[in-house]
Structure 1
Amino acid sequence: MSISAHVRPLQNVSAADAAAWHQVVAASTAHDLPGVPAPDAGQIHAMLTRPALGSHRLTWLATGADGAPVGVAGLRVFTSAGQDHLAELELHVDPAHRRLGTGSLLLSAAVAACRTENRRSLITTAPADGPGEAFGERRGFRRALTLDHLVLRLDDRAGADLERIAEAEHPGYRLAGWTGTVPDDLAAAFAAAKNAMNDMPVGDLDYGSVAWDADRVRAMAAVVADRGDTLLTVAAVHDDGTMAGYTEILVPQGVPPRVQQYDTAVVPAHRGHGLGLWVKAAMVRRLRAEYPSVVEIETDNADDNAHMLAVNHRMGFRSYRRTREFQLDVVTR
């Protein structure tokens, strides 16, 4: 069959463009990930129109002969030192319009943009063993990392067990928590703890590293708030004032039943004391008190991150799907 789609870059994303994008993503998600909630229209609009941290975004919309949306692609071009070689691709084609060349057109536009932006590494995520994986591998993407996705149901049984964990004493440490921007007296310590994420397993991804400071953690919180989401943080603070570990939860705008785990990290010098489990259990307690309509937390872990997988299984998280990270090595000129 001949290619009938037309691909155009979105310079200034309109409400109609965002609605078209949402239509394609919702259809793609329902087909490829049944039971997984797709982002709602408001989340899509915020993602497309609000700035991201340490990056800028390029977007494309593919339409059919009748002008209806059939595919979308977004490229997040990282700009921070340590990641300025990297771009991340999101690509969806409506299932009713697949195998007609639309995905290839969108991918070609994204790869060309990587060359223009002098990005050597293009990474993307696809459901394990799904059509996106096969599409990418046929076009030169190599498998670099497998992620286990887990869900915790916040039922009474889980709550009672995790309440005991949250209440356990950890001599030399105290819990701290905040919503949105970190308090000024903890900003430097939080940034130092954030840098502990640079040793997280990333498989064979050419992911680079990020240097965090107080200004960057404040900027991250501002980006989340600007798109209408809420960021919750619970941290373990040592008696000497250093932050030993922390966990973050993103509550999307509208407070859907399922929220997303963001970072969890324990600083190397403080590992082996159960702090990761402690802060995560305290976060569950906080969610149950402040957001009683939330019934699930979703997280993901690299399949070789045995320690964090063990922590999550101890909490009651259960695996329900897998995704894979892929990388294309872009030849730049």
Structure 2
Amino acid sequence: MSEHIRLTPLHDISPADATAWHQVVAASMAHDLPGVPPPGPEQIHAQLTKPALNSHRLAWLAVGADGSAIGVAGLRLFTSPGRDHLAELELLVDPAQRRLGTGSRLLSAVVAACRAEDRRSLVVEAAADSPGEAFCEKRSFRQALALDHLILRLDQLDEAAVLQVAEAEHPGYRLTGWTGTVPDGLAAAFATAKNAMNDMPVGDLDYGTVDWDADRVRAMAQVIADRGDTLLTVAAVHDDGAMAGYTEILLPRGAAARAQQYDTAVVPAHRGHGLGLWLKAAMVRRLRAEHPGVVEIETDNAEDNVHMLAVNHRLGFRSYRRTREFQLDVPAA
């Protein structure tokens, strides 16, 4: 049946292309991830058309015999030093059109592109015990990282307990926060703190490292703003001016009820003082005050990241699904 499938590389993404892509994503997520809200059409269009930081994208649309979209593949090719060996894949097929060879055709195009771009590592995420996981296992991907996804329901929050944590004194530290781009006076300190993410658990993923500086943190915030999303940050600053840690929340464009946890990190020299819990409790308090339409926060942690899982459980996060990160070691052309 795959002879009736046509693959189209997408270069200049049209509104019709974005609509077709969204239809495949929404159908796939409804089948494989019930209860997980799919991105809206505007989010999909922004993701496909707005430049990403230190990377570029390739995209393919699979069309069936009747001309309707049945599958999509997006490939993010990282370009910064330390990650220019890496590509990240999104591959989805409409559940009604599976087992016709669409996924295999898309993956073949992706692997060929990885070879042409000299990428040795291709990573993809799939829900645990899903068709995507089975697809990866049958095609020489190896499981490299297990993730636990958690939800915090803000309408079921023990607000008194969270407020107590958020208002606890931490001698030598103060909280600050901002929306969007970091203030100039904190940019260098924030970049230094960002580098603490390089020791987060990544299992066996060949994920490389990121070297953050003030220009890069500003550029990342601009990428998010250009997509129409909102980035909130709360940070802990030491009396000596160093940024000891931070936590970030992303609010998708529109009036999304579910916020996404981005980074949370504490610089190694400042660990052991309860700053991670303090920061996250302060962010919850901020969300409740500034964005009452947000009713839940989703986060994910490596299953062996016992410290951050303990922090999240203490705040009231509860596990609700699991995913797996798979890696394909791409052979040289």
What is the TM-score normalised by the length of structure 2?
0.99
Alignment partners' CA distance in 2, 1:199 and 1:294: 30
Q: In the alignment, what sits opposite 1:83?
A: 83
Q: Distance in 2 between matches of 1:190 and 1:157?
A: 30
Q: Cα distance, 1:99 vs. partner? A: 0.2
150-159 or 237-246: bigger deviation: 150-159
Alpha-carbon distance in structure 1 between the residues aligned to 2:138 and 2:2: 19
The within-5 A match list for 1:186-201 is 186-201=186-201
Whether 1:28 and 2:18 are equivalent positions in the alignment is: no
Quote the residue 1:231 is aligned against. 231
In the alignment, which residue of structure 1 is the partner of 2:93?
A: 93
Q: Matches of residues 221-260 of structure 1 in structure 2 within 5 Å?
A: 221-260=221-260
Q: Aligned equivalents of 2:167 and 2:151: distance in 1?
A: 23
Tell me by how many angstroms 1:2 deviates. 4.7
Secondary structure at 1:155's aligned position in 2? helix
Tell me, yes or no, if the aligned pair for 1:196 and 1:267 is still in contact at 8 Å: yes
Corresponding residue for residue 287 of structure 2: 287
Q: Which amino acid aligns with 1:12?
A: D
**C-alpha separation between the residues in 1 aligned to 2:174 and 2:242?**
11
CA contact (8 A) 2:151 2:297 kept: yes
Structure-1 residue corresponding to 2:278: 278
Structure 2 counterpart of 1:4, one-letter code = H
Q: Paired residue for 2:104?
A: 104
Counterpart code for 1:10: L
**CA separation of 1:156/1:320 partners in 2, compared to 1, >3 Å: closer, same or farther?**
closer
Q: Deviations over 1:92-122 (max 9, x none)?
A: 0000000000000110111111001000000
Cα-to-partner distance string for 1:276-313 (whole Å, 9 max, x where unaligned):
00010000010011100100000000000000000000
Indicate the SS of the match to 2:293. coil
Distance in 2 (CA, whole Å) between partners of 1:255 and 1:213 is: 32
Cα pair 2:157 2:316 within 8 Å, conserved: no
Amino acid at match of 2:105: L
Structure 2 CA distance, aligned partners of 1:100 and 1:234?
48
Judge conservation of contact 1:4–1:100 (CA < 8 Å) in 2. no
When the two chains are superposed, the root-mean-square deviation of aligned CA atoms in Å is 0.8
Distance change in 2, residues 1:2/1:55 (3 Å): closer
Note closer, same or farther for the CA distance 1:21–1:269 as it changes in structure 2 (3 Å cut): same
Question: What do residues 70-96 of structure 1 show as CA deviations (whole Å, max 9, x unaligned)?
Answer: 000000000000000000000000000
- Name the counterpart of 1:54: 54
Aligned residues: 333
